[in-house]
């Protein structure tokens, strides 16, 4: 009987990272979509950089930051006795970094497509910025935000390279499905590898199918409401 630890760990890590990515991605996308300043393109390029870098390069950078002698890692160990490397927390951090660009892109596109006149009208009626965001901006941008949310979860679920560099492979602690597949193949356990490949393909396919179905349904409702 196959141990289900990789599945549970993958869902846990992808779930936690998706929550973090959703909150931070929406925040930064909203702030940057409403502001123009010198160096904005540089900031956005840094946000999107993990999309074009090899996962091992991203993992190496995280290792420099969060390793025992890293800039952040050494500080965490000294002050809080918390180690990031070779832990599931490290896997979450890796997942956050590689999936953040997808959420940020989707959120930016969603906010940029909104008609700012509706927000301005609410402001002239005395609504606070938080109320404008909560009652107008967020609901109108929700379809795009949901797309980013789903894609970020799928990306986090399949993360391998950066996770291997930062969290390593420790059975019961950091053995996510991609890790289980890789090391099963390495050890010649092809049946085990095939099992996990089927599981993660089914999860990814179901996620994309649901997103496509929801998008078509939402678009149909939009068309019906304007006919």
Give me the CATH number covering residue 16: 1.10.3720.10
Query: Range of 10's domain?
Result: 5-175
- The confidence score (pLDDT) of residue 1 equals 47
Asked if residue 127 is part of any domain, the answer here is yes
Asked if residue 45 is part of any domain, the answer here is yes
**Does pLDDT of 107 surpass 80?**
yes
Asked if residue 190 is part of any domain, the answer here is no
Check if the beta carbon of residue 59 is closer than 8 Å to that of residue 70: no
Asked if residue 119 is part of any domain, the answer here is yes
Q: Report the distance separating Cα 221 and Cα 200, nearest Å.
A: 32
Q: How confident is the model at residue 122 (pLDDT cuts 50, 70, 90)?
A: confident
pTM listed for this prediction: 0.90
Asked if residue 91 is part of any domain, the answer here is yes
Give the chain's domain count: 1
* More confident: 214 or 9: 9
* More confident: 221 or 126: 126
Q: Report the distance separating Cα 26 and Cα 13, nearest Å.
A: 20
In this structure, the number of other CB atoms found within 10 A of the CB of residue 200 comes to 21
Q: How confident is the model at residue 219 (pLDDT cuts 50, 70, 90)?
A: low
- The confidence score (pLDDT) of residue 216 equals 79
Beta-carbon contacts of 84 under 8 Å, excluding residues fewer than 6 positions away, are: 66, 67, 72, 73, 76, 90, 93, 166
pLDDT tens digits along 125-149: 888 889 999 999 999 999 899 999 9
Asked if residue 218 is part of any domain, the answer here is no
Asked if residue 212 is part of any domain, the answer here is no
Q: Report the distance separating Cα 111 and Cα 104, nearest Å.
A: 10
Q: Report the distance separating Cα 95 and Cα 158, nearest Å.
A: 9
Tokens 């969603």 correspond to what residue? Answer: 110
**Does pLDDT of 118 surpass 90?**
no
Asked if residue 222 is part of any domain, the answer here is no
Q: What are phi and psi of 8, to 5 degrees?
A: -65, -40
pLDDT tens digits along 29-71: 999 998 888 889 999 999 999 999 999 999 999 999 999 888 8
Q: How confident is the model at residue 226 (pLDDT cuts 50, 70, 90)?
A: low
């Amino acid at each position: 009987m196959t141990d289900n630890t990789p599945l549970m760990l993958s869902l846990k890590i992808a779930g936690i990272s998706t929550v973090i990515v959703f909150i931070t991605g929406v925040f930064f996308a909203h702030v940057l979509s409403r502001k123009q300043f010198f160096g904005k393109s540089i900031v956005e390029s840094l946000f999107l950089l993990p999309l074009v870098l090899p996962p091992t390069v991203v993992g190496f950078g995280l290792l420099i930051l969060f390793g025992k002698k890293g800039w952040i890692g050494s500080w965490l160990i000294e002050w809080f006795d918390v180690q990031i490397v070779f832990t599931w927390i490290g896997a979450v951090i890796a997942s956050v970094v590689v999936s953040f660009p997808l959420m940020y892109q989707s959120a930016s596109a969603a906010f940029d497509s909104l008609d700012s006149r509706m927000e301005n009208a609410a402001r002239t009626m005395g609504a606070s910025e938080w109320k404008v965001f909560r009652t107008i901006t967020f609901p109108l941008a929700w379809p795009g935000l949901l797309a980013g949310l789903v894609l970020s979860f799928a990306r986090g679920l399949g993360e391998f390279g950066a996770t291997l560099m930062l969290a390593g492979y420790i059975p019961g602690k950091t053995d996510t499905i991609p890790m289980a597949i890789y090391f099963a193949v390495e050890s010649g356990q092809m049946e085990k590898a095939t099992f996990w490949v089927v599981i993660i393909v089914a999860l990814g396919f179901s996620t994309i199918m649901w997103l496509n179905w929801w998008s078509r349904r939402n678009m149909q409702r939009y068309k019906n409401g304007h006919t």
